[in-house]
Amino acid sequence: MSSSKTIDNGIAFSKKQEQVISLLKHKKLKRINLLEGSVRSGKTWISLVLWAMWVATQPKNACFLMAAKTLTALERNNLNLLVSLVGADNFKFSVQSKKATLFGRRVYLEGASDARAESKIRGLTLKGAYLDELTLFDEDFFVMLLSRLSEPGAKLFATTNPDSPNHWLMTDYIQRADDGELDFLRIKFLIDDNPYLSDEYVRSLKAEYTGVFYERFIKGEWVAAEGVVYPEYANNSKCYTVEKPPDDISFATVGVDFGGNKSAHAFVCLGFTKGFKSCVVLDEFYLKEQISPERLSQEFVDFCKRQKEKYPLYEAYCDSAETTLIQGLKNAAMREHLTIDVKKAKKTKIIDRIRFFNSMISQGRFAILEKCENVHSALCNAVWDESKPDDVRLDNGTLNVDSLDALEYAAEPYMKEMISKI
Protein backbone atom coordinates (compact mmCIF):
# COMPACT_ATOMS: atom_id res chain seq x y z
CA MET A 1 0.00 0.00 0.00
CA SER A 2 1.09 3.59 -0.64
CA SER A 3 2.10 5.75 2.28
CA SER A 4 0.17 8.84 3.29
CA LYS A 5 1.08 12.29 4.47
CA THR A 6 -0.80 14.81 6.60
CA ILE A 7 -0.61 18.39 5.36
CA ASP A 8 -0.96 21.56 7.39
CA ASN A 9 -4.75 21.58 7.53
CA GLY A 10 -4.81 18.11 9.04
CA ILE A 11 -6.16 16.27 5.98
CA ALA A 12 -4.23 13.09 5.20
CA PHE A 13 -3.46 12.47 1.52
CA SER A 14 -2.10 9.39 -0.18
CA LYS A 15 0.85 9.85 -2.54
CA LYS A 16 -1.46 9.75 -5.53
CA GLN A 17 -3.76 12.34 -3.96
CA GLU A 18 -0.76 14.56 -3.17
CA GLN A 19 0.08 14.49 -6.88
CA VAL A 20 -3.41 15.75 -7.69
CA ILE A 21 -3.22 18.65 -5.22
CA SER A 22 0.25 19.50 -6.54
CA LEU A 23 -1.26 20.06 -9.97
CA LEU A 24 -3.55 22.71 -8.48
CA LYS A 25 -0.76 24.37 -6.51
CA HIS A 26 1.50 24.57 -9.57
CA LYS A 27 -1.32 25.65 -11.91
CA LYS A 28 -1.03 22.57 -14.10
CA LEU A 29 -4.71 21.74 -14.30
CA LYS A 30 -6.24 21.54 -17.78
CA ARG A 31 -9.60 22.58 -19.18
CA ILE A 32 -10.85 18.98 -18.76
CA ASN A 33 -9.55 17.04 -15.75
CA LEU A 34 -10.52 13.37 -15.49
CA LEU A 35 -9.84 11.20 -12.46
CA GLU A 36 -10.48 7.60 -13.50
CA GLY A 37 -9.65 4.09 -12.39
CA SER A 38 -10.65 1.33 -10.03
CA VAL A 39 -13.28 1.34 -7.31
CA ARG A 40 -12.38 2.46 -3.77
CA SER A 41 -9.18 4.06 -5.01
CA GLY A 42 -9.79 7.45 -3.35
CA LYS A 43 -10.49 9.33 -6.60
CA THR A 44 -13.94 10.68 -5.64
CA TRP A 45 -12.73 11.96 -2.27
CA ILE A 46 -9.72 13.81 -3.70
CA SER A 47 -11.72 15.06 -6.68
CA LEU A 48 -14.07 16.86 -4.29
CA VAL A 49 -11.15 18.29 -2.34
CA LEU A 50 -9.65 19.51 -5.62
CA TRP A 51 -12.99 20.90 -6.78
CA ALA A 52 -13.60 22.79 -3.53
CA MET A 53 -10.08 24.24 -3.39
CA TRP A 54 -10.29 25.39 -7.01
CA VAL A 55 -13.77 26.92 -6.67
CA ALA A 56 -12.60 28.83 -3.60
CA THR A 57 -10.03 30.64 -5.78
CA GLN A 58 -12.55 31.75 -8.41
CA PRO A 59 -14.51 35.03 -8.61
CA LYS A 60 -17.48 35.15 -6.26
CA ASN A 61 -19.86 36.20 -9.03
CA ALA A 62 -19.01 33.14 -11.17
CA CYS A 63 -21.43 30.22 -11.60
CA PHE A 64 -20.69 26.50 -11.36
CA LEU A 65 -22.40 23.16 -11.92
CA MET A 66 -22.32 19.79 -10.19
CA ALA A 67 -24.05 16.83 -11.86
CA ALA A 68 -24.42 13.06 -11.71
CA LYS A 69 -26.61 10.52 -13.47
CA THR A 70 -29.38 11.43 -11.04
CA LEU A 71 -29.77 14.02 -8.31
CA THR A 72 -30.15 11.18 -5.81
CA ALA A 73 -26.76 9.78 -6.85
CA LEU A 74 -25.23 13.26 -6.69
CA GLU A 75 -26.45 13.77 -3.13
CA ARG A 76 -25.39 10.30 -2.01
CA ASN A 77 -21.97 10.21 -3.64
CA ASN A 78 -20.85 13.84 -3.60
CA LEU A 79 -22.93 16.48 -1.85
CA ASN A 80 -22.99 14.91 1.61
CA LEU A 81 -19.31 14.07 1.33
CA LEU A 82 -18.50 17.63 0.32
CA VAL A 83 -20.27 18.93 3.43
CA SER A 84 -18.10 16.68 5.58
CA LEU A 85 -14.96 17.88 3.79
CA VAL A 86 -15.45 21.65 3.94
CA GLY A 87 -18.11 22.04 6.63
CA ALA A 88 -21.78 22.98 6.56
CA ASP A 89 -20.91 26.70 6.79
CA ASN A 90 -18.92 26.53 3.56
CA PHE A 91 -21.21 24.28 1.54
CA LYS A 92 -24.99 24.45 1.64
CA PHE A 93 -27.26 22.68 -0.84
CA SER A 94 -30.88 21.98 -1.64
CA VAL A 95 -31.60 19.08 -3.97
CA GLN A 96 -35.22 20.22 -4.26
CA SER A 97 -34.27 23.66 -5.61
CA LYS A 98 -31.21 22.24 -7.40
CA LYS A 99 -28.97 24.97 -6.02
CA ALA A 100 -25.99 25.18 -3.67
CA THR A 101 -23.35 27.59 -2.46
CA LEU A 102 -19.71 26.58 -2.11
CA PHE A 103 -17.50 29.14 -0.37
CA GLY A 104 -20.09 31.74 -1.35
CA ARG A 105 -20.11 30.76 -5.05
CA ARG A 106 -23.36 29.77 -6.76
CA VAL A 107 -23.53 26.11 -7.79
CA TYR A 108 -26.31 24.59 -9.87
CA LEU A 109 -27.18 20.91 -9.30
CA GLU A 110 -28.43 18.61 -12.06
CA GLY A 111 -29.21 15.01 -12.90
CA ALA A 112 -28.37 13.80 -16.40
CA SER A 113 -30.40 10.63 -16.73
CA ASP A 114 -30.90 10.68 -20.52
CA ALA A 115 -30.29 12.61 -23.74
CA ARG A 116 -33.00 15.15 -22.88
CA ALA A 117 -30.93 16.34 -19.91
CA GLU A 118 -28.80 18.53 -22.14
CA SER A 119 -31.73 20.97 -22.42
CA LYS A 120 -31.46 21.62 -18.66
CA ILE A 121 -28.13 23.43 -19.02
CA ARG A 122 -28.79 25.40 -22.21
CA GLY A 123 -28.19 29.10 -21.71
CA LEU A 124 -25.89 28.73 -18.70
CA THR A 125 -22.55 30.50 -18.60
CA LEU A 126 -20.23 28.54 -16.34
CA LYS A 127 -16.80 28.94 -14.85
CA GLY A 128 -16.53 25.30 -13.77
CA ALA A 129 -18.32 21.97 -13.56
CA TYR A 130 -18.00 18.74 -11.61
CA LEU A 131 -19.35 15.44 -13.02
CA ASP A 132 -19.60 12.20 -11.04
CA GLU A 133 -19.22 8.92 -13.01
CA LEU A 134 -18.88 10.51 -16.43
CA THR A 135 -19.30 7.29 -18.44
CA LEU A 136 -22.92 7.12 -17.23
CA PHE A 137 -23.74 10.45 -18.92
CA ASP A 138 -25.23 10.86 -22.36
CA GLU A 139 -22.74 12.40 -24.79
CA ASP A 140 -25.18 15.15 -25.78
CA PHE A 141 -25.15 16.45 -22.22
CA PHE A 142 -21.34 16.47 -22.14
CA VAL A 143 -21.07 18.27 -25.49
CA MET A 144 -23.56 20.92 -24.39
CA LEU A 145 -21.75 21.34 -21.08
CA LEU A 146 -18.43 22.01 -22.80
CA SER A 147 -20.09 24.82 -24.74
CA ARG A 148 -21.44 26.27 -21.48
CA LEU A 149 -17.93 26.38 -19.95
CA SER A 150 -17.27 29.66 -21.73
CA GLU A 151 -15.79 31.81 -18.97
CA PRO A 152 -12.03 32.49 -19.34
CA GLY A 153 -10.09 29.75 -17.56
CA ALA A 154 -13.18 27.57 -17.14
CA LYS A 155 -12.51 23.99 -16.06
CA LEU A 156 -14.29 20.67 -15.86
CA PHE A 157 -13.57 18.05 -13.20
CA ALA A 158 -14.91 14.52 -13.62
CA THR A 159 -14.58 11.05 -12.15
CA THR A 160 -15.31 7.67 -13.67
CA ASN A 161 -14.62 3.97 -13.64
CA PRO A 162 -13.40 2.60 -16.99
CA ASP A 163 -15.91 1.30 -19.50
CA SER A 164 -15.76 -0.20 -22.98
CA PRO A 165 -12.94 1.07 -25.25
CA ASN A 166 -15.77 1.92 -27.67
CA HIS A 167 -17.42 4.30 -25.20
CA TRP A 168 -17.77 7.85 -26.51
CA LEU A 169 -15.59 9.22 -23.71
CA MET A 170 -12.70 7.03 -24.83
CA THR A 171 -13.07 7.37 -28.60
CA ASP A 172 -14.01 11.05 -28.81
CA TYR A 173 -12.00 12.51 -25.95
CA ILE A 174 -9.42 10.35 -24.16
CA GLN A 175 -7.83 9.02 -27.34
CA ARG A 176 -7.75 12.50 -28.85
CA ALA A 177 -6.25 13.83 -25.63
CA ASP A 178 -3.56 11.14 -25.76
CA ASP A 179 -2.74 12.36 -29.27
CA GLY A 180 -2.35 15.91 -27.96
CA GLU A 181 -5.47 17.33 -29.59
CA LEU A 182 -7.26 18.45 -26.42
CA ASP A 183 -6.45 20.43 -23.26
CA PHE A 184 -7.14 17.32 -21.21
CA LEU A 185 -5.61 15.85 -18.05
CA ARG A 186 -6.13 12.15 -17.26
CA ILE A 187 -5.16 10.79 -13.83
CA LYS A 188 -5.45 7.06 -13.15
CA PHE A 189 -6.18 5.71 -9.66
CA LEU A 190 -5.92 2.09 -8.53
CA ILE A 191 -7.26 0.46 -5.39
CA ASP A 192 -3.71 -0.07 -4.16
CA ASP A 193 -3.21 3.72 -4.22
CA ASN A 194 -5.59 3.98 -1.25
CA PRO A 195 -3.62 3.41 1.98
CA TYR A 196 -6.71 3.61 4.20
CA LEU A 197 -8.19 0.26 3.19
CA SER A 198 -7.23 -2.83 5.17
CA ASP A 199 -5.42 -5.62 3.35
CA GLU A 200 -8.28 -7.97 4.19
CA TYR A 201 -10.86 -5.62 2.67
CA VAL A 202 -8.80 -5.16 -0.49
CA ARG A 203 -8.40 -8.93 -0.90
CA SER A 204 -12.13 -9.41 -0.42
CA LEU A 205 -13.00 -6.64 -2.89
CA LYS A 206 -10.68 -8.03 -5.54
CA ALA A 207 -12.25 -11.46 -5.09
CA GLU A 208 -15.74 -10.05 -5.72
CA TYR A 209 -15.03 -9.17 -9.36
CA THR A 210 -14.38 -11.50 -12.29
CA GLY A 211 -13.87 -11.17 -16.03
CA VAL A 212 -14.43 -7.78 -17.59
CA PHE A 213 -15.54 -6.30 -14.26
CA TYR A 214 -12.21 -7.22 -12.64
CA GLU A 215 -10.30 -5.68 -15.54
CA ARG A 216 -12.25 -2.44 -15.28
CA PHE A 217 -13.08 -1.98 -11.60
CA ILE A 218 -9.92 -3.43 -10.07
CA LYS A 219 -7.20 -3.02 -12.72
CA GLY A 220 -8.69 0.19 -14.08
CA GLU A 221 -8.48 -0.89 -17.72
CA TRP A 222 -10.74 0.15 -20.58
CA VAL A 223 -11.51 -3.30 -21.98
CA ALA A 224 -14.28 -4.73 -24.11
CA ALA A 225 -16.75 -7.26 -22.78
CA GLU A 226 -15.80 -10.43 -24.63
CA GLY A 227 -16.42 -14.15 -24.25
CA VAL A 228 -18.61 -15.67 -21.56
CA VAL A 229 -20.65 -13.42 -19.30
CA TYR A 230 -20.25 -15.52 -16.13
CA PRO A 231 -16.67 -16.88 -16.42
CA GLU A 232 -16.33 -18.07 -12.82
CA TYR A 233 -19.50 -20.14 -13.06
CA ALA A 234 -18.81 -21.43 -16.57
CA ASN A 235 -15.32 -22.61 -15.59
CA ASN A 236 -16.24 -24.04 -12.18
CA SER A 237 -19.93 -24.89 -12.35
CA LYS A 238 -19.55 -28.03 -10.22
CA CYS A 239 -18.56 -25.83 -7.31
CA TYR A 240 -21.95 -24.14 -7.38
CA THR A 241 -24.33 -27.07 -7.97
CA VAL A 242 -25.90 -28.87 -5.02
CA GLU A 243 -28.13 -31.94 -4.72
CA LYS A 244 -30.53 -30.49 -2.18
CA PRO A 245 -31.34 -27.03 -0.82
CA PRO A 246 -29.70 -25.73 2.35
CA ASP A 247 -31.65 -25.99 5.59
CA ASP A 248 -31.72 -22.24 6.26
CA ILE A 249 -33.89 -20.97 3.38
CA SER A 250 -35.73 -17.99 4.87
CA PHE A 251 -38.01 -17.35 1.92
CA ALA A 252 -38.22 -17.67 -1.86
CA THR A 253 -39.38 -15.61 -4.81
CA VAL A 254 -40.40 -16.55 -8.33
CA GLY A 255 -39.27 -14.74 -11.47
CA VAL A 256 -41.35 -15.00 -14.64
CA ASP A 257 -40.26 -14.28 -18.21
CA PHE A 258 -42.87 -14.58 -20.95
CA GLY A 259 -42.00 -16.22 -24.26
CA GLY A 260 -42.48 -14.96 -27.79
CA ASN A 261 -41.67 -16.13 -31.33
CA LYS A 262 -38.08 -17.12 -30.58
CA SER A 263 -38.09 -17.17 -26.79
CA ALA A 264 -39.42 -19.44 -24.06
CA HIS A 265 -41.68 -19.08 -21.08
CA ALA A 266 -39.48 -19.38 -18.00
CA PHE A 267 -40.15 -19.49 -14.25
CA VAL A 268 -37.34 -19.56 -11.69
CA CYS A 269 -37.74 -20.06 -7.95
CA LEU A 270 -34.90 -18.40 -6.05
CA GLY A 271 -34.36 -18.97 -2.35
CA PHE A 272 -32.61 -16.62 0.07
CA THR A 273 -30.86 -18.04 3.10
CA LYS A 274 -31.02 -16.58 6.59
CA GLY A 275 -29.46 -13.13 6.84
CA PHE A 276 -29.14 -12.90 3.04
CA LYS A 277 -25.93 -14.88 3.20
CA SER A 278 -26.60 -16.57 -0.15
CA CYS A 279 -29.18 -17.21 -2.85
CA VAL A 280 -30.06 -20.60 -4.33
CA VAL A 281 -31.88 -21.57 -7.53
CA LEU A 282 -34.43 -24.05 -6.17
CA ASP A 283 -36.58 -24.94 -9.16
CA GLU A 284 -37.40 -23.92 -12.71
CA PHE A 285 -39.95 -24.18 -15.51
CA TYR A 286 -38.96 -23.79 -19.16
CA LEU A 287 -41.17 -24.23 -22.23
CA LYS A 288 -40.24 -23.04 -25.72
CA GLU A 289 -43.50 -23.41 -27.60
CA GLN A 290 -46.62 -21.41 -28.28
CA ILE A 291 -49.24 -22.01 -25.58
CA SER A 292 -52.50 -20.33 -24.65
CA PRO A 293 -52.65 -17.71 -21.88
CA GLU A 294 -54.91 -20.12 -19.98
CA ARG A 295 -52.33 -22.89 -20.03
CA LEU A 296 -49.57 -20.45 -19.09
CA SER A 297 -51.58 -19.33 -16.08
CA GLN A 298 -52.19 -22.93 -15.02
CA GLU A 299 -48.51 -23.82 -15.38
CA PHE A 300 -47.66 -20.82 -13.21
CA VAL A 301 -50.16 -21.77 -10.51
CA ASP A 302 -48.99 -25.39 -10.46
CA PHE A 303 -45.35 -24.31 -10.27
CA CYS A 304 -45.99 -21.93 -7.38
CA LYS A 305 -48.04 -24.54 -5.51
CA ARG A 306 -45.10 -26.96 -5.67
CA GLN A 307 -42.76 -24.33 -4.31
CA LYS A 308 -45.08 -23.28 -1.51
CA GLU A 309 -45.19 -26.86 -0.28
CA LYS A 310 -41.44 -26.62 0.43
CA TYR A 311 -40.56 -22.96 0.95
CA PRO A 312 -42.06 -19.71 2.30
CA LEU A 313 -43.11 -18.14 -1.02
CA TYR A 314 -45.23 -15.02 -1.17
CA GLU A 315 -44.08 -13.02 -4.24
CA ALA A 316 -43.66 -13.46 -7.99
CA TYR A 317 -42.03 -10.86 -10.24
CA CYS A 318 -42.97 -10.85 -13.92
CA ASP A 319 -41.71 -9.20 -17.08
CA SER A 320 -43.44 -5.83 -16.86
CA ALA A 321 -43.83 -5.56 -20.65
CA GLU A 322 -46.66 -8.11 -20.61
CA THR A 323 -49.36 -6.50 -18.48
CA THR A 324 -52.18 -8.61 -19.92
CA LEU A 325 -50.40 -11.88 -19.15
CA ILE A 326 -49.53 -10.63 -15.66
CA GLN A 327 -53.19 -9.92 -14.99
CA GLY A 328 -53.98 -13.44 -16.19
CA LEU A 329 -51.55 -14.88 -13.63
CA LYS A 330 -53.10 -12.75 -10.89
CA ASN A 331 -56.60 -13.90 -11.78
CA ALA A 332 -55.53 -17.56 -11.87
CA ALA A 333 -53.81 -17.24 -8.49
CA MET A 334 -56.98 -15.75 -6.98
CA ARG A 335 -59.19 -18.48 -8.44
CA GLU A 336 -56.92 -21.14 -6.98
CA HIS A 337 -56.74 -19.32 -3.61
CA LEU A 338 -52.98 -19.13 -4.06
CA THR A 339 -51.59 -16.64 -1.57
CA ILE A 340 -48.94 -15.05 -3.73
CA ASP A 341 -48.48 -11.41 -4.70
CA VAL A 342 -47.91 -11.22 -8.46
CA LYS A 343 -45.99 -8.04 -9.30
CA LYS A 344 -44.21 -6.36 -12.17
CA ALA A 345 -40.46 -6.92 -12.21
CA LYS A 346 -38.25 -3.94 -11.44
CA LYS A 347 -36.29 -4.53 -14.68
CA THR A 348 -33.16 -2.64 -13.66
CA LYS A 349 -30.31 -2.40 -16.16
CA ILE A 350 -29.21 -5.81 -17.40
CA ILE A 351 -25.55 -4.93 -16.85
CA ASP A 352 -26.29 -4.27 -13.16
CA ARG A 353 -28.06 -7.63 -12.85
CA ILE A 354 -25.11 -9.36 -14.51
CA ARG A 355 -22.68 -7.61 -12.18
CA PHE A 356 -24.75 -8.71 -9.17
CA PHE A 357 -24.70 -12.41 -10.05
CA ASN A 358 -21.03 -12.34 -10.99
CA SER A 359 -20.36 -10.85 -7.56
CA MET A 360 -22.44 -13.48 -5.75
CA ILE A 361 -20.75 -16.27 -7.73
CA SER A 362 -17.23 -15.00 -7.06
CA GLN A 363 -18.01 -14.72 -3.33
CA GLY A 364 -19.36 -18.26 -3.18
CA ARG A 365 -22.80 -16.94 -2.25
CA PHE A 366 -24.68 -18.49 -5.14
CA ALA A 367 -25.81 -22.08 -5.65
CA ILE A 368 -28.12 -23.99 -7.94
CA LEU A 369 -29.88 -27.32 -7.52
CA GLU A 370 -28.64 -29.92 -9.98
CA LYS A 371 -32.10 -30.44 -11.45
CA CYS A 372 -32.24 -26.84 -12.74
CA GLU A 373 -30.55 -27.68 -16.02
CA ASN A 374 -31.90 -24.75 -18.02
CA VAL A 375 -30.61 -22.09 -15.63
CA HIS A 376 -27.32 -23.99 -15.41
CA SER A 377 -26.79 -24.11 -19.18
CA ALA A 378 -27.92 -20.49 -19.55
CA LEU A 379 -25.26 -19.35 -17.07
CA CYS A 380 -22.59 -21.47 -18.76
CA ASN A 381 -23.39 -20.40 -22.31
CA ALA A 382 -24.24 -16.71 -21.96
CA VAL A 383 -21.81 -14.58 -23.98
CA TRP A 384 -21.30 -10.91 -24.69
CA ASP A 385 -22.55 -9.52 -27.99
CA GLU A 386 -19.25 -8.46 -29.52
CA SER A 387 -21.01 -6.72 -32.41
CA LYS A 388 -22.32 -4.03 -30.03
CA PRO A 389 -20.20 -1.12 -28.73
CA ASP A 390 -21.84 -1.29 -25.29
CA ASP A 391 -21.90 -4.15 -22.78
CA VAL A 392 -24.77 -6.22 -24.14
CA ARG A 393 -25.56 -9.88 -23.50
CA LEU A 394 -26.14 -11.74 -26.78
CA ASP A 395 -29.88 -12.13 -27.26
CA ASN A 396 -30.55 -13.30 -30.81
CA GLY A 397 -32.64 -16.40 -30.12
CA THR A 398 -29.71 -18.84 -30.22
CA LEU A 399 -29.12 -18.82 -26.44
CA ASN A 400 -31.40 -19.16 -23.46
CA VAL A 401 -31.61 -15.69 -21.95
CA ASP A 402 -35.18 -16.32 -20.78
CA SER A 403 -34.09 -18.34 -17.75
CA LEU A 404 -31.55 -15.64 -16.95
CA ASP A 405 -34.20 -12.92 -17.12
CA ALA A 406 -36.50 -14.92 -14.84
CA LEU A 407 -33.63 -15.52 -12.41
CA GLU A 408 -32.82 -11.82 -12.35
CA TYR A 409 -36.43 -10.77 -11.86
CA ALA A 410 -36.61 -13.06 -8.82
CA ALA A 411 -33.44 -11.54 -7.34
CA GLU A 412 -33.93 -7.83 -8.08
CA PRO A 413 -36.06 -6.85 -5.06
CA TYR A 414 -33.40 -8.15 -2.66
CA MET A 415 -30.15 -7.31 -4.46
CA LYS A 416 -29.45 -4.36 -2.17
CA GLU A 417 -29.88 -6.52 0.92
CA MET A 418 -27.55 -9.14 -0.53
CA ILE A 419 -24.94 -6.56 -1.51
CA SER A 420 -25.07 -4.93 1.93
CA LYS A 421 -23.92 -8.23 3.47
CA ILE A 422 -20.62 -8.16 1.55
Q: How far apart are CA 187 and CA 341, in angstroms?
A: 50
Contact between 297 and 331 under an 8 Å Cβ cutoff? The reply is: yes
What pLDDT sits at residue 262? Answer: 77
| Statement: residue 5 has pLDDT above 70 | no
CB atoms within 10 A of CB 243: 7
Q: Which CATH number fits domain 231-420: 3.30.930.10, 3.90.1200.10, 2.60.40.1930, 3.30.420.280?
A: 3.30.420.280
Partners of 271 in beta bridges: 252, 280
Q: What percent of the chain has pLDDT over 70?
A: 97
Residue 117: CB atoms within 10 A of its CB come to 20
Are the CB atoms for 220 and 188 separated by under 8 Å?
A: yes
- Spatial distance between the Cα atoms of 195 and 197, rounded to a whole number of angstroms: 6
Task: Report whether 137 contacts 148 (CB < 8 A).
Answer: no
Distance in angstroms (rounded) separating the CA atoms of residues 419 and 422: 6
pLDDT of residue 336: 93
Question: End-to-end distance of the chain based on CA atoms, in angstroms?
Answer: 22
Which residue(s) pair with 265 in the sheet?
287
C-alpha–C-alpha distance, residues 280 and 262, integer Å: 28
Whether the CB-CB separation of 4 and 196 falls below 8 Å is answered with: yes
**185 versus 207: which is more confidently predicted?**
185
- The residues with which 367 forms a beta bridge, in sequence order, are 280
Among 29, 118, 134, 15, which residue's Cα sits nearest to residue 78? 134
Give the DSSP letter of residue 94.
E
Least confident of 6-15, 360-369, 398-407: 6-15
N residues, the chain = 422
Beta bridge partners of 159: 35
**DSSP conformation letters of 5-21:** EE-TTS-EEEHHHHHHH
What is the domain partition of the chain in residue ranges?
Answer: 4-198, 231-420
User: How far is 287 from 408, CA to CA, in rounded Å?
Assistant: 18
Strand partners, 18: none
pLDDT of residue 422: 60
| Concatenated DSSP letters of 249-268 | EEEEEEEEE---SS--EEEE
CB-CB contact of 82 with 49 (8 Å): no
- Please give the single-letter amino acid code of residue 316: A
Tell me, what's the pLDDT at 166? Answer: 86
The fold for domain 4-198 equals Rossmann fold (3.40.50)
Residue 1 has pLDDT above 60, yes or no: no
Please list the residues that pair with 129 across neighbouring strands: 65, 156
pLDDT tens track for 23-80: 999 999 999 999 999 999 999 999 999 999 999 999 999 999 999 999 999 999 999 9
pTM for the complete prediction? 0.75
From the centroid of its chain, how far is CA 14? Answer: 27
The answer to whether the CB of 94 falls within 8 A of the CB of 121 is no
Looking at the DSSP assignment, which residues form a beta bridge with residue 33?
A: 157, 185
Report in angstroms the alpha-carbon separations of 11 from 124, 356, 360: 34, 35, 36
In angstroms, how far is CA 125 from the centroid of its own chain? 32
Q: pLDDT tens for residues 200-237?
A: 999 988 888 888 999 999 999 999 888 999 999 998 89
